[in-house]
């Protein structure tokens, strides 16, 4: 397994470009199952999770091709197999997004239950609730969810759960409703930018959807959907991660291709911490090193609240803040696997249930640490950037799932990160040239798909 060796202390400066959003690309690629016509999806990042989903779609009879310009072209050519296998689904939970399109278009789906992950149990009861209300018969057998229907029929439903709305649950029910008979209303729908991007793509395919960006979606079912071309929105969590990097050690980094309107809660909280984020255009900002970081109490919420996917990265800043901070996780109460690792680097964080108390004023030192999930891994990389000495982040396949060329992008800003591959004794330093990185990224991400 690969690891990162990070020499801390370098100040970052320069320009970084944000890639397309993983969490928009996955449901949008899944939604191409809803049509037999060719679709073209632009701006899809080179990520392990995207590779995994493409393997699943291929097995579901989709001809899927990454063109030399990076576009992904899809076309359903065979609808006989509607089974999403455990061996692939277990490595990427968002594979569950094929469920809604399959049951709606093919009237049958057999999808492996995704199982939990380190950030929580991650049930799919709301996905099931919504599909049952649309008329799907749902059974469970040997770790698979099996869905059958004679034809879905629209209805009004409430899709909120204990922890609020569900992003991929909304995506699944929304995609299924597009081909259902009649009108569907989803109350307490998720309105994350990634769901909004899916609504835009489905509308381009001919779906009739009202309420984009709100917690109430209204869908008028249609007989069929057609081809469409779409460019994925920039990844707001990658952008937020680089804002955190700039706040930690940036002499002034410029972040391009980021939708600042998708980051209001992050920008507001970071401003309160004393981070300067200067908006230089609708999709560009400059972030400077925050000489003194102020402590802050943060609670993660559904969009437009503070995103849970930025919690771990932000905690790194809070370990350096000039006082005590409190982080409360309202989305994934157990999403604190990064705490123990940060404490090994000299942070002083105490976890109490779904809350973490961060003492601040820490001096982080380099240490060997273990990545455990996507965003916790990003937090450990950020900590390594500012720690004194060398940090080794092991199991970086977690980070390859959701960050395109992260070490390449950080090194181009002046960081000192080497990716040590288990095949090469010497460190391999990815060059700045995008193509080499993309090839090596493809090599890294397609070599094997270990369990997450
Ligand atoms: C999406 O996961 C994202 N993944 C996650 O990003 C993100 O953290 C999460 O939304 C919350 O914003 C993708 O979009 C691929 P949820 P999802 O359903 O859809 C509970 C990353 O790092 N819930 O919105 O799986 C659930 O346990 C990943 O990029 C139910 O109880 O999340 C959680 O507490 C991590 N029943 C809350 O709702 C259900 O049926 C929100 O989950 C579904 C969810």
Q: Does residue 246 share a domain with residue 201?
A: no
State which ligand 1 atom lies nearest to the alpha carbon of 121: 27
State which ligand 1 atom lies nearest to the alpha carbon of 128: 40
- 227 catalytic? Reply is no
For residue 297, the surrounding DSSP H or E stretch is strand 297-300
Per-residue model confidence (pLDDT) at position 251 = 86
CATH number at residue 238: 3.65.10.10
- Residues of the chain with pLDDT below 70 are 115-116, 422-452
CA 151, CA 153: separation in Å to the nearest integer?
Answer: 7
- Does the beta carbon of 105 sit less than 6 angstroms from any atom of ligand 1? no
**Residue bearing the CA closest to ligand 1, atom 43:** 124
Q: Does residue 72 share a domain with residue 215?
A: yes
Per-residue model confidence (pLDDT) at position 118 = 80
Q: Does residue 56 share a domain with residue 14?
A: no
Per-residue model confidence (pLDDT) at position 433 = 45
Burial of 121 (0-12, 13-18, 19+ CB in 10 A): exposed
Q: Does residue 178 share a domain with residue 131?
A: yes
Q: Does residue 95 share a domain with residue 183?
A: yes
Span 269-299, pLDDT tens digits: 999 999 999 999 989 999 988 889 999 999 9
CA distances from residue 131 to 83, 151, 186, 348 in whole angstroms, order as listed:
17, 11, 11, 45
- Does the beta carbon of 161 sit less than 6 angstroms from any atom of ligand 1? yes
Task: Indicate the SS3 state at residue 279.
Answer: strand
The sign one gets for the Cα dihedral 47, 51, 52, 56 is positive
**Which token pair is 136?**
């799907």
How close is the Cα of 132 to the center of ligand 1, in Å?
Answer: 20
> From the centroid of its chain, how far is CA 425?
31
Provide the domain limits for residue 401. Answer: 3-19+234-448
Pocket test for ligand 1, best of 163, 196, 197, 338 (most atoms within 8 A of CB): 163
**Which token pair is 435?**
């193509």
Per-residue model confidence (pLDDT) at position 427 = 52
How close is the Cα of 10 to the center of ligand 1, in Å?
Answer: 35
Q: Total domain count for the chain? A: 2
Burial of 138 (0-12, 13-18, 19+ CB in 10 A): middle
pTM: predicted TM-score of the whole model, two decimal places:
0.93
Beta strand segments in 202-283, E: 208-210, 216-220, 229-231, 250-256, 276-281
CA 59, CA 73: separation in Å to the nearest integer?
Answer: 16
How close is the Cα of 166 to the center of ligand 1, in Å?
Answer: 6
> From the centroid of its chain, how far is CA 116?
16
- Does the beta carbon of 115 sit less than 6 angstroms from any atom of ligand 1? no
How close is the Cα of 164 to the center of ligand 1, in Å?
Answer: 10
Q: Does residue 242 share a domain with residue 152?
A: no
Q: Does residue 201 share a domain with residue 145?
A: yes
Q: Does residue 250 share a domain with residue 391?
A: yes
CA 435, CA 51: separation in Å to the nearest integer?
Answer: 17
CA 10, CA 439: separation in Å to the nearest integer?
Answer: 27
Q: Does residue 332 share a domain with residue 241?
A: yes
The residue to which tokens 């029929």 are assigned: 153
State which ligand 1 atom lies nearest to the alpha carbon of 122: 27
CA 382, CA 388: separation in Å to the nearest integer?
Answer: 12
Per-residue model confidence (pLDDT) at position 117 = 73
Q: Does residue 213 share a domain with residue 101?
A: yes
- Alpha helix (H) residue ranges in 19-113: 22-31, 48-59, 86-89, 99-106
Task: Answer with the one of 205, 231, 257 that is the final residue of a domain.
Answer: 231
- Strands 229-231, 39-42: parallel, antiparallel or unpaired by DSSP? parallel
């Amino acid at each position: 397994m690969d690891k990162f060796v990070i020499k801390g202390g370098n100040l970052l400066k320069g320009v970084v470009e944000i890639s397309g959003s993983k969490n928009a690309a996955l449901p949008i690629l899944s939604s191409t199952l809803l049509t037999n016509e060719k679709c073209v999806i632009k701006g899809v990042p080179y990520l392990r999770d995207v590779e995994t989903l493409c393997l699943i779609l291929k097995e579901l009879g989709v001809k899927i091709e990454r063109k030399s310009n990076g576009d992904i072209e899809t076309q359903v050519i065979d609808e006989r197999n509607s089974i999403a296998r455990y061996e692939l689904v277990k490595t990427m939970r968002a594979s569950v997004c094929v469920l809604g399109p399959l049951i709606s278009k093919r009237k049958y789906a057999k999808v492996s239950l995704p199982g939990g992950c380190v950030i929580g149990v991650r049930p799919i009861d709301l996905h099931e609730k919504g599909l049952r209300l649309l008329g799907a018969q749902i059974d469970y057998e040997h770790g698979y969810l099996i869905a059958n229907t004679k034809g879905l029929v629209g209805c009004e439903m409430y899709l909120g759960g204990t922890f609020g709305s569900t992003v991929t649950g909304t995506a699944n029910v929304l995609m299924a409703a597009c081909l259902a008979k009649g009108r569907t209303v989803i109350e307490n729908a998720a309105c994350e930018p990634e769901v909004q991007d899916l609504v835009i793509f489905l509308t381009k395919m001919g779906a009739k959807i009202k309420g984009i960006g709100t917690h109430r979606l209204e869908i008028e079912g249609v007989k069929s959907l057609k081809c469409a071309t779409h460019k994925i929105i920039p990844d707001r969590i990658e952008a937020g991660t680089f804002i955190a990097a700039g706040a930690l050690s940036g002499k002034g980094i410029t972040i391009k291709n980021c939708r600042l309107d998708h980051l209001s809660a992050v920008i507001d909280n970071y401003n309160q911490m004393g981070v300067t984020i200067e908006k230089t255009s609708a999709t560009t900002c400059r972030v400077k090193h925050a000489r003194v970081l102020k402590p802050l109490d943060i609670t993660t919420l559904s969009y437009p609240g503070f995103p849970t996917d930025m919690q771990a990265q932000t905690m790194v800043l809070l370990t350096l803040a000039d006082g005590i901070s409190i982080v409360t996780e309202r989305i994934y109460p157990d999403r604190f696997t990064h705490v123990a690792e940060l404490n090994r680097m000299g942070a002083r964080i105490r976890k109490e249930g779904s809350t973490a108390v961060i003492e601040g004023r820490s001096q982080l030192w380099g240490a060997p640490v273990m990545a455990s999930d996507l965003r916790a891994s990003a937090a450990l990389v950020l900590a390594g950037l500012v720690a004194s000495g060398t940090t080794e982040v092991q199991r970086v396949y977690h980070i390859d799932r959701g960050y395109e060329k992260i070490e390449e992008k950080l090194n181009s800003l002046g960081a000192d990160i080497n990716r040590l591959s288990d095949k090469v004794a010497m460190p391999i330093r990815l060059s700045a040239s995008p193509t080499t990185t993309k090839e090596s990224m493809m090599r890294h991400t397609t070599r094997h798909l270990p369990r997450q």
